[in-house]
Amino acid sequence: MSLTTRPATEADASQMATLLSELFSIERDFTPERDKQLKGLLLLISAGDASKVFVAEDDGPVVGMVTGQILVSTAEGGPVALIEDLIVEKNSRGTGVGAHLLKEVEEWAKSKGASRLQLLAYKDNGPAEKFYKDSGWVKTNLICLRKTGGESTLCPGRSEL
Output the pLDDT for position 63: 96
Q: How far apart are the first and last CA of the chain?
A: 46
Structural domains of the chain in order of their starting residue, each with its CATH number = 3-154 (3.40.630.30)
Look at residue 78 and give its three-state secondary structure: strand
Q: What is the pLDDT of residues 82-140, one digit of tens each?
A: 999 999 999 999 999 999 999 999 999 999 999 999 999 888 888 999 999 999 999 99
Rg (CA), the chain: 16
Using CB atoms within 10 Å of the CB of residue 31, give its burial: 0 to 12 exposed, 13 to 18 middle, 19+ buried: exposed
Task: Provide the CB-side half-sphere exposure for 55 (13 A, CA).
Answer: 23
Higher-scoring residue by pLDDT: 131, 159: 131
Q: Model-level pTM greater than 0.85?
A: yes
Stretch among 7-11, 35-39, 151-155 having the lowest mean pLDDT: 151-155
Output the pLDDT for position 156: 56
User: Does position 31 have pLDDT exceeding 90, yes or no?
Assistant: no
Output the pLDDT for position 157: 55
Output the pLDDT for position 100: 96
3-state helix, strand, coil in the chain (%, to 5): 35, 30, 35
Share of the chain above pLDDT 70, in %: 92
Computed over every residue of the chain, the mean pLDDT equals: 90
- Cα of 83 vs its chain's centroid, Å: 5
Output the pLDDT for position 150: 64
